[in-house]
Amino acid sequence: DAKTTQPPSMDCAEGRAANLPCNHSTISGNEYVYWYRQIHSQGPQYIIHGLKNNETNEMASLIITEDRKSSTLILPHATLRDTAVYYCIALEYGNKLVFGAGTILRVKS
Amino acid sequence: DAGITQSPRHKVTETGTPVTLRCHQTENHRYMYWYRQDPGHGLRLIHYSYGVKDTDKGEVSDGYSVSRSKTEDFLLTLESATSSQTSVYFCAISDPSYRYTFGSGTRLTVV
């Protein structure tokens, strides 16, 4: 699966939108973009995934560029409970989830 | 998370002893996984299963074995625990869209 690149850390003010970027310039046509997060000491939690189109669910929105070389996860109104490590992963169905270092998001009051 | 439980949650064991961790799911999913998480290494896949009695190795399988005799249970065994296997172990299941659900983890300390 394609390698992804994320910034090591980001800060966000409580109540503001958190926009987490991810680069995946070598992504193939069969690879989906998945986002997970891990809150301290807990197991990773699925957030959202998509192939080409933008996606939205109750947790977040996923914006994928037209060339699919990058994406942005948007948490529309970040709260302190959104402080976590966020992982962007390119995955083809049938392959195994491989985690990188992720982005540490700190939401501050 | 709902649908997947790990036991025990914490365990301290001595070097050289066998240890078995259990993962139980109620979702009837085909795929199950064992990961370990260590500082500086992140989450790494140990073994996975794609059905009853069907298992395969992951990235860091040395020193570990697994078994899956029922759809709902996936066991991870450390045949002879070593200090390097001190870690947090996570079990996961995935649905047909490969959305993974992780358990709460087992913190294992080998002394």
Q: Do A97 and B58 touch (CB under 8 A)?
A: no
Per-residue confidence at B39, pLDDT binned at 50, 70, 90? confident
Q: Tens digits of per-residue pLDDT, B65-95?
A: 999 999 999 999 999 999 999 999 999 999 9
B21: chain A residues, CB-CB within 8 Å: none
Mean pLDDT of B28-41: 93
Rounded Cα distance between A65 and B65, Å, is 42
**Amino acid B15: pLDDT:** 98
Mean pLDDT of B24-33: 96
Per-residue confidence in pLDDT tens, chain A, 109 aa: 779 999 999 999 999 999 999 999 999 999 999 999 999 889 999 999 999 989 999 999 999 999 999 999 999 999 999 999 999 999 988 888 999 999 999 999 9
Phi, psi of A28, deg, nearest 5: -95, 170
Of B15 and A41, the one with more pLDDT:
B15
Q: Do B45 and A97 touch (CB under 8 A)?
A: yes
Q: Report the share of chain B in percent with pLDDT over 90.
A: 92
A46: chain B residues, CB-CB within 8 Å: 99-101
* Residue of B38, B15, B33 lying closest to B107 (CA atoms): B38
Q: What is the mean pLDDT of chain B?
A: 95
A16, A67, A82, B11, B69 from B21: Cα distances, Å: 41, 43, 30, 9, 14
**E-state strands within chain A:** 9-13, 18-23, 31-38, 45-50, 55-56, 61-64, 70-75, 84-92, 103-108
Q: Which of A36, A45, A96 sits opposite B58 (nearest CB)?
A: A96
**Amino acid B41: pLDDT:** 82
Rounded Cα distance between B58 and B37, Å, is 14
CA distance B57 to chain A (A): 11
| pLDDT of B2 over the 70 cut | no
**Amino acid A1: pLDDT:** 76
B99: chain A residues, CB-CB within 8 Å: 34, 46, 49
Q: Do A42 and B105 touch (CB under 8 A)?
A: yes
CA distance B64 to chain A (A): 18
Judge whether A84 is closer than 8 Å to chain B, CB to CB.
no
Q: Which of A46, A98, A101 sits opposite B99 (nearest CB)?
A: A46
The one-character DSSP state at A5 is: B
